[in-house]
Amino acid sequence: MLEEITLTVNGQSVRMPPGATVAAAIATASAFCRRSVSGEARTVLCGMGICFECRAEIDGRPHQRSCQIVCSPGMRVSTKGQTR
Amino acid sequence: MRTTEKQFEVLVVGGGPAGLAAASSAAEHGVRVGLIDDNPALGGQIWRKGIAGTYPEAENWIRKLRSAEVEILCGARVFDHPSPNLLLAETQDHLLELRYRKLVLATGARERFLPFPGWTLPNAMGAGGLQALVKSGYSIAGKKVLLAGTGPLLLAVAAYLRTHGAEIVMICEQASFWQLTKFGVSLLKYRDKIAQGKTLRKDLAGVPFVTSSWPVAAEGNEVLKAVLISRRSKIEKIACDFLACGFHLVPNTELAALLGCRLRQGFVEVDQVQRTSREGIFCAGEPTGIGGVELSVVEGQIAGHAAAGHEDLASSFFAIRQKLRKFADALDRTFALRPELRKLAVEETIICRCEDVTHGRLKLHTSWRAAKLQTRCGMGPCQGRVCGPQTEFLFGWPPDSVRPPIFPARVESVGAPLRDVEPEYCEMRGEQ
């Protein structure tokens, strides 16, 4: 088994297997991905880069589709503190 | 941002079964082939490489591609076609100018989602979406999952989730038992499908599978807690952690439409050798008709050989394609959506998730175009990919024409002088 990757989601440390996506890390941290324009909490719908519900800020870049991005060590993911 | 220009004899868009087969088949003829896909790894959705394992068939194709020196561009998304024989694509840091002589579109399909009260709650997801999340590192062990929708994909996902420790509380199939029985009999002609069915039955032993059943509402405060399902004309409430829905598939035809390929009843029209109505552009797999992985591979091989100028080799696949297409037709008939599903959304149910446009606001309009202009439905970053198929099903609105960029792209990539607008907003702009 390869070594796990440690990254942070809203400041909380999360360990993920190598190759895991940021969307999986956000779900593991029990966080939401975003608030909709009317304020609803949202998480991944399609898991394949189509629906844009999994958008999050990754290493300072806003609106990244977290289901299409693989976790890397030390990555900082922010969903503006939206946590269950 | 750096710009990189690349030239190919044959360029394949999409790295799922059809695209892998097409790129590999074209490369057999010694021409320079490129394969571009927006996911971080090849395989598409059905052969998505999991953190726990890969698909041997996908690995075989990928090995062939590597030994034939096919150039693989992963994590790159095509967003525009500014001039003939040129596509623009974007990676995290690069703009790619991809020039080609022949193009094969293997853009696959996405799930069809249907709106009902609560379908936007966190943990109410696509069936394929939940499977993808688990394949990409989320632990589903010990979670209660209810699957609802239609078609064999639901069973495949349920079996996958169960082997990864999920508790499958129920599988709700909207088709009737009678439809499924007829379909089961028709399967007897396909030996592979019988074998697949037997494996699924073993993997799902003991899981409640109910027919003529569908979700009517999802409940929970900021996260899913329970699902109300309709079953034998009664409503039952079932507690669960995840709702995984899949109401069959919708073809990804946006790029084909942008390129001017003729569509018929929502699918890309192709000839014997998978050639579209546009010179030098071929199409294979789900965009030409939802038919599953085996048919996609066969169509990909035909398109790959033909794009490399070897139609003679393509013809050896015609008989098997014919047989697999008949199977696809049987799927379509069996899992056709029942009209009751059009009535699930209520006044406040959100249809367009990007712009939070409700059913109540949409029903005042008479066309997709009018609804877009008045409500912003379909104008968010997904550009109508989720709500478009829904409004078509709910209101009978045919989709509108496609305009570039077909996916939100960075301002620098699009090249539009949008300096007065905040960068974040520009990144998110859809069609305006």
CA distance A77 to chain B (A): 16
Contacting A with CB below 8 Å, chain B residues are 38-40, 45, 49, 51, 75, 77, 92, 110-111, 113, 120-123, 125-126, 128-133, 136-139, 222-223, 252, 350, 353-356, 380-382, 385-386, 408, 424, 427-428
Bridge partner residues of B2 (DSSP): B94
- Same domain, yes or no: B223 and B121: yes
Q: For residue B117, what are the contacts with CB-CB under 8 A and spacing of at least 6? A: B216, B217, B218, B344, B345, B346, B348, B349
| CB-defined contacts A:B, below 8 A | 124
Rounded-to-5 percentages of helix, strand, coil across chain A: 10, 35, 50
B269, B299, B331 — which closes off a domain? B331
Distances (CA, A) of B386 to A51, B189, B267, B390: 6, 35, 17, 7
B331, B363, B378 — which closes off a domain? B331
User: What's the CATH number where B141 sits?
Assistant: 3.50.50.60
- Same domain, yes or no: B212 and B273: no
pLDDT of residue B52: 74
pLDDT of residue B428: 37
Which ranges in B127-280 belong to alpha helices (H)? 127-135, 152-163, 177-187, 191-203, 254-258
pLDDT of residue B173: 95
B279, B305, B331 — which closes off a domain? B331
Name residue B187's amino acid. L
- What ipTM was predicted for this assembly? 0.95
- Same domain, yes or no: B240 and B256: no
The answer to whether A52 contacts B126, with C-beta atoms less than 8 Å apart, is no
pLDDT of residue B187: 66
Residues of A in contact with B51 (CB under 8 A): 17-20
Residues of B in contact with A49 (CB under 8 A): 38-39, 77
- Same domain, yes or no: B164 and B85: no
- Same domain, yes or no: B124 and B28: no
pLDDT averaged over consecutive 10-residue blocks of chain B (432 residues)? 93 98 98 96 90 87 96 96 96 93 98 97 98 96 98 93 97 92 71 76 90 97 96 95 96 97 96 98 97 96 98 95 92 91 97 97 95 94 95 92 87 56 35 30
Percentage of chain B beyond pLDDT 90 is 80
> Is residue A30 scored above 50 in pLDDT?
yes
**Residue among B110, B223, B408 whose CB faces A48 most closely:** B110
Give the best residue of B38, B77, B121, B138 to mutate against chain A (max A CB count within 10 A).
B138
Q: Are strands B263-264 and A55-58 parallel, antiparallel or unpaired?
A: unpaired
pLDDT of residue B431: 32
The total number of structural domains in chain B stands at 3
- Same domain, yes or no: B132 and B227: yes
DSSP per-residue string spanning B88-102: EEE-SSEEEEEEEEE
pTM above 0.90, yes or no: yes
- Residue from B143, B15, B203 nearest B133 by CA: B143
pLDDT of residue B418: 34
Q: For residue B326, what are the contacts with CB-CB under 8 A and spacing of at least 6? A: none
What's the residue count for chain A? 84
**Residue among B132, B356, B408 whose CB faces A47 most closely:** B132
**Chain centroid to CA B36:** 16
Rg of chain A (C-alpha set):
12
Residues of A in contact with B136 (CB under 8 A): 19-21, 23-24, 47, 67
Residues of A in contact with B40 (CB under 8 A): 21, 68-70
Residues of A in contact with B408 (CB under 8 A): 52
Q: Is residue B79 helix, strand or coil? A: strand
- Same domain, yes or no: B170 and B258: no
Domain that holds residue B216: 116-247
> Is residue A34 scored above 90 in pLDDT?
yes
- Same domain, yes or no: B269 and B193: no
Domain A5-77 part of CATH 3.10.20.740: yes
Q: What six digits make up the tokens of B361?
A: 């606001």
**What average pLDDT score do residues A21-40 get?**
96
- Same domain, yes or no: B310 and B266: yes
